[in-house]
Chains A and B, each alone.
Chain A
Amino acid sequence: MKEIYLDNNATTKVDEAVFEEMRPYFCELYGNPSSMHFFGGQVQRKVDEARNRVASLLGASTDEIIFTACGTESDNAAIRSALEVFPEKRHVITSRVEHPAVLTQCRNLTQKGYRVSEIGVDGEGRLDMEEFKATVDTDTAIVSLMYANNETGVIFPIEEAAAIAKAKGALFHTDAVQAVGKIPLDMANSNIDMLSLSGHKLHAPKGIGVLYLRRGTPFRPFMVGGHQEKSRRAGTENAAAIIALGKACELAAQYMEQENTQVKVLRDRLQDELMASIPNARINGGGAERLPNTTSIAYEFVEGEAILLLLSELGICASSGSACTSGSLEPSHVLRAMGVPFTCAHGSIRFSLSRFTTNDEIDTVIRELPPIIARLRLMSPFGREHLKGQK
Chain B
Amino acid sequence: MWDYTPIVKDHFLNPRNVGDITDADAVGEVGSLACGDALKLYLKLDENKDKIVDAKFQTFGCASAIASSSALTEMVKGKTLDEALAISNQDIAEFLGGLPEEKMHCSVMGQEALEVAIAKYRGHEVKIHSHDHDHGPEYPDQEGTIVCKCFGITDVFLKKVIETNHLTTAEQVTHFTKAGGGCGGCIPKINELIAEVMGTQTEEPRKRPEKLSNMKKMQLIQEVLEKDIRPLLWADGGDLELIDIDGPKVQVAFRKACAGCASSGNTARMVEIKLRDLVAEDIVVEEVVA
* A301→B15 CA distance, assembly (Å): 18
Interface string of A354-382 (1 = CB under 8 A from B): 00000000000000000000000011111
With known contacts A342-B34, A378-B18, A329–B58 Cβ distance under 8 A: no
A141 CB → nearest B CB, Å: 27
Across-interface contacts of A310 in B (CB, < 8 A): 13
A16 at the B interface (CB under 8 A): no
Shortest Cβ distance from residue A105 to the other chain B in the assembled complex, whole angstroms = 18
Stretch from B35-43, B81-89, B208-216, B271-279 at the A interface:
B35-43
Question: Which single member of A304, A330, A379 contacts B181 (CB below 8 Å)?
Answer: A330
Contact with B along A312-341 (1 / 0, CB 8 A): 010000000011110111110000000000
Q: Which B residues touch A302, using CB under 8 A?
A: 60
Residues of chain B lying within 8 A (CB to CB) of residue A379: 15, 18, 58-60, 66
Contacts of A324 in B (CB 8 A): 36-37, 61-62, 65, 103
> What number of B residues sit within 8 Å (CB to CB) of A?
31
Interface residues on A, range: 20 to 34
Asked if A383 meets B60 with Cβ closer than 8 Å, knowing A313-B13, A329-B174, A342-B33, the reply is yes
Main secondary structure of the interface of A (DSSP, over half): helix
Q: Contact check, A329 vs B36: say whether CB atoms are below 8 A apart.
A: yes
Distance to closest chain A CB from B72 (angstroms): 14
Quick one: closest A residue to B61, CB to CB?
A: A303
Bitwise interface map of B from 42 to 69 toward A, beta carbon under 8 Å scored 1, else 0: 0000000000000000111111011000
Dominant secondary structure of chain B at its interface with chain A: mixed
Contacts of A305 in B (CB 8 A): 2, 62-63
Q: Is the CB of B36 within 8 A of A380?
A: no
B151 within 8 A of A: yes
Residue of B nearest to A313 (CB): B13
Q: Is A343 an interface residue (CB 8 A)?
A: yes
Across the interface, A303 reaches (CB within 8 A) one of B15, B29, B60, namely B60
Q: Which of A309, A328, A330, A380 contacts B12 (CB 8 A)?
A: A309
- Which residues of the partner chain B approach A346 to less than 8 Å between Cβ atoms? 33, 36
Are A306 and B18 in touch, CB under 8 angstroms?
no
Residue A384 interfacial (CB < 8 Å): yes
CB distance from A303 to the nearest CB of B (A): 5
Instruction: Tell me the complex Cα distance, A147–B277, Å.
Output: 62
Kindly list chain A residues whose C-beta atoms are within 8 Å of the C-beta of B20: 384
Pick from B12, B29, B36: contact of A323, CB under 8 Å: B36
Tell me the residues in window 266-322 of chain A with beta carbons closer than 8 Å to chain B beta carbons: 301-306, 309-310, 313, 322
Q: Chain A contacts of B2 at CB under 8 A?
A: 305
User: Which chain A positions have C-beta within 8 A of B36?
Assistant: 303, 322-324, 329-331, 346
Q: Is B287 an interface residue (CB 8 A)?
A: no
A207 vs B150: C-alpha distance in the bound complex, in angstroms? 37
Minimum distance in angstroms from B232 CB to a CB of chain A: 26
B178 at the interface (CB under 8 A from A): yes
For the complex, give the distance between the alpha carbons of A384 and B57 in Å.
12
A303 touches B182 (CB 8 A): no
Q: A329-B181, A330-B150 are in contact. Are A381 and B60 (CB under 8 A)?
A: yes
**What are 20 A-B contacts with C-beta separation under 8 Å?**
A301-B33, A303-B37, A303-B62, A305-B63, A306-B61, A306-B63, A309-B12, A309-B63, A313-B13, A324-B61, A324-B62, A324-B103, A328-B181, A329-B178, A342-B135, A379-B58, A380-B60, A381-B29, A381-B40, A384-B58
- Residues of B whose CB lies within 8 Å of any CB of A are 2, 12-13, 15, 18, 20, 29, 33-34, 36-40, 58-63, 65-66, 102-103, 135, 150-151, 174, 178, 181-182
